[in-house]
Amino acid sequence: MGKKKKILFIEDERHFQEMLDTVFKAEGFETVSAFNGVDGVRMAEEEKPDIILSDLVLPKKDGFNVINELKNNPNLSDTPIIILTNLEESQNIEKVISSGAKMYLVKANYTLDDIVAKVKDTLKINNKEKNEG
C-alpha cells in the first residue's frame, strides 16, 4: 500500500478539528493540526502536507493571509487548499478562489463524509484503487 496522504487542518474550533481528525484518520490519512494561521503556515512548511483544510476566521492570521503566504511559497504553491468556513458571503468565495484555493465549502452545508469525498476527489483518491500500486 502506498504512503498515507498527509492532511493539515488549520482550524480554531477544537471540537470540529477533533471530529475532522478522527474521520480522516479512519479513512487512512495522516493528520496534523494548527489552531491559528501563524502556526498553520509554519506547520505547512515543516510537514509538507498533501492537502490543507483551513478556516477563514482564525486567530493571529486569517485564512486569506494563510492562502497568500502558502501560494507565494515555492515549496507549497502547488499544495491544494480547501477553505472550510461558516462564512457564506459571495465576495469571500470569489476572493478565496482567485487567491488560489481549490474549493470553498460552507461547514453547515456539508457532512463530514462530504468533506472526506471532496478531499479524496481533489487528491484523486479512488476507494477501489486505494490498495493498488
Give percent above pLDDT 70 in the chain.
92
At the second CATH level, the architecture of 6-123 is 3-Layer(aba) Sandwich (3.40)
Q: What is the pLDDT of residues 30-75, one digit of tens each?
A: 999 999 999 999 999 999 999 999 998 889 998 889 999 999 999 9
Going by C-alpha positions, the residue among 70, 74, 13, 20 that lies closest to residue 40 is 70
Report the pLDDT averaged over residues 109-131: 79
Tell me: pLDDT of 131 over 50. no
Report the pLDDT averaged over residues 106-113: 90
Cα–Cα distance measured from residue 99 to residue 115, given in angstroms and rounded to the nearest whole number: 21
**8 Å CB contact between 101 and 64:** no
Half-sphere exposure of 111 (CA within 13 A, CB side): 3
Indicate the pLDDT class of residue 132, thresholds 50, 70 and 90: very low
For the question of whether the overall pTM of this predicted structure is more than 0.85, the answer is yes
Q: What pLDDT shows up at residue 30?
A: 95
Break the chain into its structural domains and give their ranges.
6-123
Cβ burial 54-88 (10 Å sphere, 16+ → b, else e)? bbbebeebebbbbbebbeeeeebeebbbbbbbebe
Cell of 133: 500500486
Going by C-alpha positions, the residue among 83, 78, 80 that lies closest to residue 94 is 83
Indicate the pLDDT class of residue 2, thresholds 50, 70 and 90: low
Tell me: pLDDT of 130 over 50. no
- Residue 90 has phi, psi (to 5 degrees) of -65, -30
